[in-house]
Structure 1
């Protein structure tokens, strides 16, 4: 696993890790405009296309589903619209409070995904997009808690940053850009590292694949060449290049589906 750091411009280095994470992501959700009723784009995302084949029961309301790190709640709203019994948890008290006000019919809970209030063997499946990587002690506590609250043969779906060759081109530029005022932000994982973490914590990996190649190419263009990702030119160029760029080198994230094992390793 490789560490990524974040510049502390406008951020407080005195906060504990959990307070820092809450403040940081509350700011992200605020800048995004807060929760809305729009969730149609969820059904076009790579994660949904990979996830949907596992929703196989004739009555989807029989499923108990957990969104670990639900953010603005679009995924909970989208899956609930399909009849799934979906709960969203997030560390941001402000964001969860807004979700509770705007969508009182939903199940919204403030929680640290490493230690939740749910009983053992409670959920049929649990998905978490880009969350488990943000704790400096590593993802183990997140995965063990997921195992505890999943039913026997329950399914866990994750995305984490992919540590691939693309990063080698941008790391030198990043070191020049950042001052000494940084703190830990996230881990990146190779396929083998992610599989190992899941196996150790009692999961059998059933599918793992790199995703978000266009986003990876866009980040490469900014990190290695200096093209700002917000430029329209950068986005058009990334869209043109992504189909011919190998996912093993350029993909931004790793997606994994894993099944709860009978015993811990």
Structure 2
């Protein structure tokens, strides 16, 4: 059974298997990142944050918990329906395509944990940057937290198997046609499943081109969640602050 579709992220992210495979992600590290980032940006108390591609809302929930007015948007209806259980007066979730402007303005717009570069239509990448620009108020900052492609390619594990909740996920990773690709194969209830993740291998200079075209200005670049300076050869992350 092949569940790959043109918009791979729409089908894969909506499955329970996606959340099973990645359930051991380091959320403590993510919370440290949110603490560091909101402090660095000096977002005002009760400031408004838009969380693009928020998934099931865990990071939006944390940002709200530490005092911010948060809107989380995601293309996955299942993820947003799950996240809605956490809503309150200062936390809301909507199904929305991040390549189209969300009709409000914010003190910060966050696109976190490599949630960029999924689109088959590459014009949507530029459209996303343009949308972020429209979503920022006059004092607002955009943040894209992406993988450092140089580091990822250098440390790519070609194949491995990960066992989660009794499912053996066989993962194969490779670089092809400017994309970092992961093939994921597994069997569940005697049925074979195959999914593929494809992320455009954007480097800093590629983002700079998009920023120039969208007329936004890159202000700072960090290389990890403690906000150490970015080093192209060593940093695990590529965290860009712009407005």
TM superposition score normalised by structure 1: 0.65
Question: Which residue of the other structure, out of 6, 12, 30, is the alignment partner of 2:3?
Answer: 12
Q: Give the drift of 1:118.
A: 1.8
Matched, 1:114 2:93: no
DSSP-derived class of the 1:203 partner: coil
The equivalent of 1:219 in structure 2 is none
| In the alignment, structure 1 residue 253 sits paired with structure 2 residue 237 | yes
User: In the alignment, what sits opposite 2:135?
Assistant: 149
Question: Residue 251 of structure 1: CA displacement?
Answer: 3.1
Note if contact 1:66-1:126 (Cα within 8 Å) is conserved in structure 2: yes
Counterpart among 176, 183, 188 of residue 201 in structure 2: 188
Q: What's the counterpart of residue 158 of structure 1?
A: 144
Show the counterpart of 1:135. 119
After superposition, the Cα gap between the structure-2 partners of 1:137 and 1:171, relative to the gap in structure 1 and judged at 3 Å, is farther
If each structure's strand is expressed as a fraction of its own residues, which one has the higher value?
2
- Residue 84 of structure 1 deviates from its aligned partner by 0.9
1:118 match: secondary structure: coil
2:48 is matched with 64
| RMSD over equivalenced CA pairs, Å | 3.3
Counterpart contact for 1:133–1:161, Cα < 8 Å: no
List aligned pairs for 1:195-206, cutoff 5 A.
195-206=208-219
Q: Using the alignment, how far apart are the partners of 1:41 and 1:252 within structure 2?
A: 13
Determine the C-alpha separation between the residues in 2 that align with 1:75 and 1:81: 10
The aligned counterpart of 2:10 is 22
1:125 aligns with 2:105: no
CA gap 1:212/1:16 in 2 versus in 1, 3 angstroms: same
Q: Do structure 1's residue 49 and structure 2's residue 36 form an aligned pair?
A: yes
Distance across 1 between alignment mates of 2:155 and 2:53:
30
Contact 2:222–2:238 at 8 Å: present in 1 too? yes
Could you list the per-position Cα deviations for residues 5-24 of structure 1 after superposition, in whole angstroms to 9, with x for gaps in the alignment? xxxxx6533x342xx31221
Change (3 A) 1:140 1:48: farther
1:17-75 CA distance string (max 9 Å, x none): 2xx312211235532698xxxx7654323x54244221343xx11x2210001112121
| Higher Rg | 1
How many residue pairs end up in the alignment? 203
Match of 1:31 in 2: 20
User: Match for residue 238 of structure 1?
Assistant: none
Residues in 2 aligned to 1:32 and 1:164: alpha-carbon distance in whole angstroms: 25
Unaligned runs of 5+ in 2: 160-172, 176-181, 184-193
Asked whether the equivalents of residues 102 and 135 of structure 2 are also in contact (C-alpha less than 8 Å), the reply is: no
Instruction: Describe the shift of the 1:183–1:211 C-alpha distance in structure 2 as closer, same or farther (beyond 3 A).
Output: same
Q: Equivalents in 2 of 1:256, 1:175: separation in Å?
A: 25
Give the Cα–Cα distance (whole angstroms) in 2 for the partners of residues 73 and 182 of structure 1. Answer: 23
Q: 1:254 offset after TM fit, Å? A: 0.6
Q: Could you list the runs of 4 or more consecutive aligned residues of structure 1 that deviate by over 3 angstroms after TM superposition?
A: 39-42, 168-178, 181-184
Q: Residue 170 of structure 2 corresponds to which residue in structure 1?
A: none
